[in-house]
Amino acid sequence: MSTPEYERFQAATIRRPDDVPPATPLAWHAERATEHDNRLANRSLREDFPYEIERGDLGDALAALALRESMHRMIEAQRGSRIREAMEMGATWYEMAAALDITPDEARTLLRQWADGQHRLHRGDVERAADSPLGLTSERHAQVLALTELGDNETVQAAVR
């Protein structure tokens, strides 16, 4: 199935991460990066390769880099909300740290930074669009920060009891 947005994304010239339209699905990024990678890999095939192939060029190299940077930014932007979700579903800080390959305190810091950014976003958004605010309210911000106070092996369910 194809959509007009998908068609526009496929046709767009990508040379910078900002050339990727906002909210482009990660799967589309990966699909397109793979196409560029395959053409670039074909450059190493011998000149008399027996099958018809398309060899990559500078545009493929730049697009592959820009798409990877766009994916990186998207993944980083979503990390805090995924930490919050996992903790609220019962993960421990040890499990969180293992999933991120960092220490529990480093994982807590990531959640605090994300929550603070979302709280700042909400405060600014309330002034612009009260009917559809973004980010975390003061109450929700406090609830998320409370997750950082859990012990390394403690879960939300255990803390509620």
Q: Nearest CA to 15 among 74, 56, 69?
A: 69
Sequential pLDDT tens for the chain (161 residues) = 589 999 999 999 999 999 999 889 999 999 999 999 999 999 999 999 999 999 999 999 999 999 999 999 999 989 999 999 999 999 999 999 999 999 999 999 999 999 999 998 877 655 554 555 678 899 999 999 999 999 999 999 865 55
| Residue 103 φ then ψ, to 5° | -85, 160
Contacts 24+ apart (CB under 8 A), 91-96: 91/155, 92/150, 92/152, 92/153, 92/154, 92/155, 93/150, 93/151, 93/152, 93/153, 93/154, 94/152, 94/153
What's the length of the chain? 161
- Per-residue confidence (pLDDT) for residue 17, from 0 to 100: 97
- Per-residue confidence (pLDDT) for residue 129, from 0 to 100: 46
The CA distance from 5 to 28, in Å, is 11
Angle at 90 between CA 89 and CA 92, to 5 degrees: 135
β strands within 73-147, DSSP E = none
